[in-house]
Amino acid sequence: MPDLRPEAVTRLAAHLERLPGVGPRTARALVEHLLVVDEGEVDALAQALADLRGAVCHCSRCFLLTESDPCPVCSDPGRDHGVILVVEEPTTAWAVEATHQFNGVFHALLGHLSPLHGVGPEDLTIDALIDRVRSSEVREVILATDPTVEGETTALYIARRLKDLPVQISRPASGIPVGGELAAVDRLTLAMALESRREV
């Protein structure tokens, strides 16, 4: 039997299915919704998607996602620039900020070490982190990589690179499940883990 769906519908559904958490049924429901809502709403969505990639970039200092460079955190004189929280992905900083317990600055690695997938230190922003620590009055670096094998390996590698510099190196305390992702941890657990971090 022929497929009655127009090619444009099939094409959009296929793109939507590539998004995390979107299966064929959800993709179909989203497309059907977009076909019946006001045309202006669809145009606004299309513009927002275009703006997402056009307006958002990485901060040249900390690599968080931002619309201005440097980002609002790096340019805020009220933040404690002597404490850097290192995260794997820029979006993890959003979860940390939601705790209202951290007043330092961030550094996003843009991934983690994974030799099996060909990701080495040169593919991350580790050298930029080392340069930041060397060139400023940093007192502490909190290695908040995910508690996975790759995250632990990345944290140990960075700790070794920093060990000859006059800076305290710490990890968030227990409460974060091993094998989990930092961004998925609830605010209270994340806040307590940061509060009782341990030295590396």
Q: What string of pLDDT tens digits covers the 200 residues of the chain?
A: 667 778 888 999 999 999 999 999 999 999 999 999 999 999 999 999 888 888 899 999 999 999 999 999 999 999 999 999 999 999 999 999 998 989 999 999 999 999 889 999 999 999 999 999 998 899 999 999 988 889 989 999 999 999 999 999 998 865 555 566 667 666 756 775 666 565 66
SS3 state at 136:
coil
Distance of alpha carbon 91 from alpha carbon 162, whole angstroms: 24
Distance of alpha carbon 123 from alpha carbon 118, whole angstroms: 9
The domain made up of 7-55 has a fold known as: Helicase, Ruva Protein; domain 3 (1.10.8)
Whole-structure pTM value:
0.76
Write down the domain spans for the chain.
7-55, 65-199
The domain made up of 65-199 has a fold known as: Dna Topoisomerase Vi A Subunit; Chain: A, domain 2 (3.40.1360)
